[in-house]
Amino acid sequence: MSRIDELITDLCPDGVEFKSLGDVVHRTANIKWSDVEGEEFKYIDLTSVDRITHAIIETQTVTSENAPSRAQQIVREGDVIFGTTRPMLKRYTVIPAEFDGDICSTGYCVLRPNPELALPNFIFHLLGTEAFYAYVEANERGASYPAISDSAVKAFRIPLPPLEVQREIVKVLDTFTKLEAELEAELEARRRQYQYYRDALLTFGERTDADASKQARITTLGEIGSFMRGTGIQKVGYPAIYGNAIIMQWNQRTPPLNAKLPRRGLITRATTPSFWRGFRMTLPASTILTGFDGRTGLSARRVTALRAGA
């Protein structure tokens, strides 16, 4: 029997109690900018929290003069913040000491655990569970700009073992979180290394007649392959899409899908979800897909298909 099992047996023999998040957190406050004129604060916006490491990676300094309208919520060390705008992007973190008293966007739900009931890192790890994101997906609202309300987040019911049990659980999960962060840092270093050598090895000077045998010939993609699909970048918005286009879906809820469009169709908020379901396209070997970002609200990317050597 593990240490955690022993503690549960000793401290909660009748089972673990469940409570809603709202029952284990304190109320938080918003800043009054008129009371802090001239003071500077670090602002945590929706892009400040890394989706992989769940650390605050970049902030901006704001004052009462230049603070965005969403810069409203005061955070304290140990607060847990969860991004409620596009919540399936999984932006959540624990506020470290260096950001105590700073400001975060109203796009976050700020959870300030009652220290007598819950540990910050225990809440943090619960926000990463599949059960929580199944609940979020069922309760978010909006198609092109999904969001979940703070009240809905706080209504989520969590297991609440005694603090001693929470400490043991957090000790184990924090170890894995640290290992994951180290692996991600190593992976990022390898990505940068690859990019450096790729650019160095694939950069050639255009040859001249004098040294034609020593330099690479510069040519166009059209000379080495034939375009199978794609004629250009479409306008931003909900455009009419023709059959000579391919769209790939990229969003946080489903794996990427390839889709071959009908001869002509219109993507709308109402038709997008059902439009994507079940579409698949098989391309010949050696086909290169080059992407062009479309409207981010659609969670989609247009691509052009080039079959090399055809």
pLDDT score at 182: 79
pLDDT score at 2: 77
pLDDT score at 19: 94
Distance CA 196, CA 107 (A): 36
Distance CA 152, CA 221 (A): 52
pLDDT digits (tens, 9 = 90+) for 5-36: 777 777 777 778 899 999 999 999 999 999 99
Supply the pTM of this predicted model: 0.62
pLDDT digits (tens, 9 = 90+) for 51-62: 888 999 999 999
Domains and CATH numbers, the chain: 17-160 (3.90.220.20), 221-308 (no CATH)
Which one is predicted more confidently, 107 or 187? 107
Residues in the chain: 310
Distance CA 175, CA 296 (A): 36
pLDDT digits (tens, 9 = 90+) for 240-296: 333 333 443 333 333 333 333 333 333 333 333 333 333 344 444 444 444 433 333
